[in-house]
């Protein structure tokens, strides 16, 4: 019996992954959290707070471990298949990583278990607050890993998607946890008043989906999003370099547009090491189309520091963007972890962060705010470009993770960013998923993954500010902290 509850929590967490892309069975996130709440909401609240804390941590940790192992095991592909790490070590590294990230779900569950009062409405609010803070902490601590935050599962057609422009992905996750707790309480206590509140929450989200927080500006811009589909195991071979450079040029020639976009690291070397005249040829092609080309590459400053970057050349003034949120172990080594690179072979792994605030590129009458790969997981960082930016553009190379959940999950994250900011999100990727996401979170156009091709779209920029773009995570996190503090105050008074 001791293993039954943690085992059920583990299975519920694993099942929650079906709520995310590519499955998008969004009600399963609701069910999985309701199971966790029901496991935690057992026994007399006042009896053994320390014991409740330990028990809650174990159940939450098991839930989080199940979700992460099922949802981000694609990290193994990068470490073993492309990073060269031996199979047992790669498997152990993934297990330890997922266990480390599951601690946050454990702490959130432990906090709720210690604070719960046995009162349906208060307990539902405390569960939501603790869950929100746990996910926010995971997205911030040690540079953060907010992948699979529960709010990402609630893209349209989920009614909760309507709350994303107000309170962001963490706020949506908190509402999801609140709704799950209400439903679990209604079933357990045979009390249907919580169902009425749940219906109001869902109806409110549905009504908010009809609100246009931003409005289009300017004329439609023709954009070509290019998907080069270069195999990761071949990308860095010196003898293949000229072939990749030629593919870039040919795709630019074949796809006239005002803005032409090639993906992250489409030039797999420092831009100042390019063959003589190459960048000028890119400029000539783009200008011949009456537009500009954006290319993912690596740049180096006067001090020799290397950046994962994107540059633009063409009829407009040249632009430059340097990635500011780097991936630990993939793009830089945290202190004391240099030994990791003795086990894995990852090219260009000693990079420097770009500035926290960088001006959007001014192209074709639009102001385009760039982000590279993993950066679009951090919503509060993307809103720094607002309200100036009219379009968001992500350049990615997820070939590191093979044919896995990583590609559709990343597209789902982009849908939430579009909702939060009220801006279209353009995506140019190496192997998928290259797409245009509209401000309402809808995917308007998309290329098949793992095929070379071009996505030609006409898109208008958007102006205006959503509530989330103005205030970020502060309202949702602040309210959650207040609820937890009130719960702590009640517990101390009754001790």
Residue 185: partners with Cβ closer than 8 Å, 6 or more residues away: 41, 120, 123, 124, 191, 194
273 token code pair: 């090491």
Query: Which has the closest alpha carbon to 158: 312, 21, 336?
Result: 21
Alpha-carbon gap, residue 38 to 36, rounded angstroms: 5
Catalytic residue among 98, 373, 375, 420: 373
Cα distances from 430 to residues 235, 443, 450, in angstroms, run 11, 18, 8
Active site residue 135: no
Catalytic residue among 98, 222, 235, 323: 323
**Burial classification of residue 210, based on how many CB atoms lie within 10 Å of its CB (0-12 exposed, 13-18 middle, 19 or more buried):** exposed
Give me the residues paired with residue 314 across strands: 292
45 token code pair: 């609240």
Alpha-carbon gap, residue 178 to 124, rounded angstroms: 5
Give me the residues paired with residue 295 across strands: 311
Active site residue 191: no
294 token code pair: 């954006």
Active site residue 98: no
Query: Given CA atoms 152, 6, 57, 194 in this order, what sign does their dihedral have?
Result: positive
Query: Which has the closest alpha carbon to 491: 116, 53, 128, 55?
Result: 116
Under a CB-based contact definition with an 8 Å cutoff, are residues 448 and 403 in contact?
Answer: no
Catalytic residue among 98, 135, 222, 264: 264
- Which residues participate in catalysis according to the annotation? 264, 323, 373
């Amino acid at each position: 019996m001791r293993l039954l509850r943690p085992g059920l929590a583990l299975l519920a967490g694993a099942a929650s992954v079906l709520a995310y892309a590519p499955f998008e069975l969004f009600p399963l996130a609701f069910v999985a959290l309701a199971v966790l709440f029901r496991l935690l909401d057992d026994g007399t609240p006042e009896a053994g707070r320390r014991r409740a804390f330990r028990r809650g941590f174990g159940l939450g940790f098991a839930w989080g471990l199940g979700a992460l192992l099922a949802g981000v095991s694609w990290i193994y592909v990068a470490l073993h298949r492309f990073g060269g790490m031996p199979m047992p070590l790669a498997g152990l590294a993934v297990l330890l990583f997922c266990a480390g990230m599951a601690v946050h779900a454990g702490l959130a569950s432990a906090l709720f278990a210690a604070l719960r009062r046995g009162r349906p409405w208060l307990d539902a609010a405390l569960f939501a607050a603790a869950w929100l803070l746990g996910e926010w902490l995971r997205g911030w601590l040690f540079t953060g890993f907010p992948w699979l935050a529960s709010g990402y599962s609630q893209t349209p057609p989920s009614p909760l998607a309507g709350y994303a422009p107000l309170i962001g992905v963490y706020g949506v996750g908190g509402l999801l946890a609140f709704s799950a707790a209400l439903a679990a309480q209604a079933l357990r206590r045979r009390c249907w008043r919580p169902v009425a509140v749940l219906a109001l929450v869902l109806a409110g989200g549905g009504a908010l989906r009809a609100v246009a927080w931003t409005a289009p500006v300017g004329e439609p811009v023709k954009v070509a999003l290019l998907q080069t589909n270069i195999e990761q195991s071949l990308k860095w071979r010196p003898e293949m370099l000229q072939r990749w450079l030629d593919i870039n040029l040919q795709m630019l020639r074949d796809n006239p547009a005002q803005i032409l976009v090639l993906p992250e690291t489409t030039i797999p070397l420092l831009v100042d090491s390019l063959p003589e005249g190459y960048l000028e040829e890119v400029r000539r092609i783009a200008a011949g189309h009456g537009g500009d080309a954006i290319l993912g590459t690596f740049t180096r400053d006067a001090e020799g520091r290397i950046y994962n970057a994107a540059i633009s050349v063409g009829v407009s003034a040249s632009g430059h963007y340097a990635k500011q949120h780097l991936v630990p172990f993939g793009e830089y080594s945290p202190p004391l972890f240099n030994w990791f690179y003795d086990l894995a072979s990852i090219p260009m792994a000693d990079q420097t962060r770009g500035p926290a605030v960088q001006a959007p590129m001014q192209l074709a009458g639009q102001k385009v705010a760039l982000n590279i790969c993993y950066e679009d997981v951090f919503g509060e960082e993307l809103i720094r470009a607002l309200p100036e930016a009219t379009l968001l553009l992500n350049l990615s190379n997820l070939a590191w993770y093979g044919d896995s959940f990583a590609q559709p999950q990343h597209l789902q994250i982009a849908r939430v960013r579009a909702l939060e900011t009220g801006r279209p999100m353009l995506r140019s990727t190496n192997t998928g998923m290259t797409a245009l996401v509209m401000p309402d979170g809808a995917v308007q156009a998309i290329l098949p993954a793992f095929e070379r091709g071009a996505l030609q779209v006409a898109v208008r920029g958007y102006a205006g500010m959503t509530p989330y773009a103005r205030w970020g995570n502060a309202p949702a996190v602040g309210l959650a902290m207040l609820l937890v503090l009130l719960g702590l105050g009640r517990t101390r008074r009754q001790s």
